[in-house]
Amino acid sequence: MRRAKITVVGAGNVGATTAHWCASMELGDIVLLDIPQLGDMPKGKALDLMQSGPIMGFDSNLMGTSDYADTADSDVVVITAGIPRKPGMSRDDLLSTNARIVASVAEQVKKYSPESIVIVVSNPLDAMVQQAQLSTGFPHHRVMGQAGVLDTARYRTFIAMELGCSVEDVSAMLLGGHGDTMVPMPSCTSVGGIPLSQLLPAERINQLVDRARHGGAEIVSLLKTGSAYYAPAAATAQMVEAIVKDKKRLIPCAAYCDKEYGVGGYYVGVPVILGKNGVEKIIELDLTGQEKADFQKSVDAVRELVKTMNGLMVQAAVS
């Protein structure tokens, strides 16, 4: 049986750590790619990681490269490429720059791995997934974004910390865009099967929800330089596992919704069945009035972000 081939585009903290998790889980053989200007850096990271295999007991082949030809016929491609927001850089600057980077990467993915499933991790996430799908022309179910798994993990972590219980016993769900407008779902949250509302007062639940919304910003403020990468990479690896092992996991991710939830043709965070074909089904939940309002606010924010991105891409093409 042929091993899965997994390409990770971007050998920075998130990309390299994604390769680390995927290798340690023996999900397949991994190609770690970055731009030629970085020289042999991807080769060095891949070789270093491969040499940890005999110690940690995993058997995955890893290759570092700057040549997309080495990624040919990948089963799954993870796109982490892009730049973080820097001092003095506007939101539109970041959006425009990363949209061009993701578009360029996606064109190479289309050329070398036309049957692959694509997971986008680059930010601003919801807009970047839209750009990747547009640039590849792949069916919507084969292009998705990693956000919900990470956001849910943060939410579950904070609940477990609050209750002093195992995170394994916390089950939770979030909807909407990645970031401040995400919609944690207390009505779909339980601990060992017990509804969270029976374990914590509403005020405290709201505080934990708010902390989950700003989980990434909290880490940035603590690190001072850089942003989170262990949990984002682990979340991505879980999605890769669901695909290459056809696990049919019910997890939240940024998936294309048209009639679903009345979104109207955008990528937003929703619960899906994730398997060998990518997003195999979108699960539509019966939302409460407040949840509907919060979700619509999140969708509106994604729609505005995509509209701005499209305008910036047109300006760049003209200039």
Q: Report the range of poorest mean pLDDT among 124-128, 250-254, 311-315.
A: 311-315
For residue 186, the model assigns a pLDDT of: 84
Instruction: Give pLDDT tens digits for 255-288.
Output: 999 999 999 999 999 999 999 999 999 999 999 8
CATH of domain 148-303: 3.90.110.10
The pLDDT tens digits of the residues spanning 158-183 come to 999 999 999 999 999 989 988 778 88
Q: What is the DSSP string of 196-248?
A: GGGTS-HHHHHHHHHHHHTHHHHHHHHHSSS---HHHHHHHHHHHHHHHTT--
**In the predicted structure, residue 224 carries a pLDDT above the cut 70:** yes
Percentage with pLDDT > 90 across the chain = 80
Work out the average pLDDT over 76-103.
84
HSE-CB at 162 with a 13 A cutoff on CA atoms is: 20
The pLDDT of 24-34, averaged and rounded, is 97
In the CATH hierarchy, which top-level class contains the domain 5-145? alpha beta
Annotated catalytic, 20? Answer: no
* Catalytic, out of 20, 140, 141, 178: 178
Task: Count Cα atoms within 13 angstroms, Cβ side, for 297.
Answer: 11
Rounded distance, CA 196 to CA 191, Å? 6
pLDDT of 259? 96
Residue 86 pLDDT > 70? no
**CA atoms 114, 267, 308, 154: torsion sign:** negative
Boundaries of every domain in the chain = 5-145, 148-303
pLDDT single digits (tens) 186-198: 889 999 999 999 9
Using only C-alpha atoms, the chain has a radius of gyration, in whole angstroms, of 19
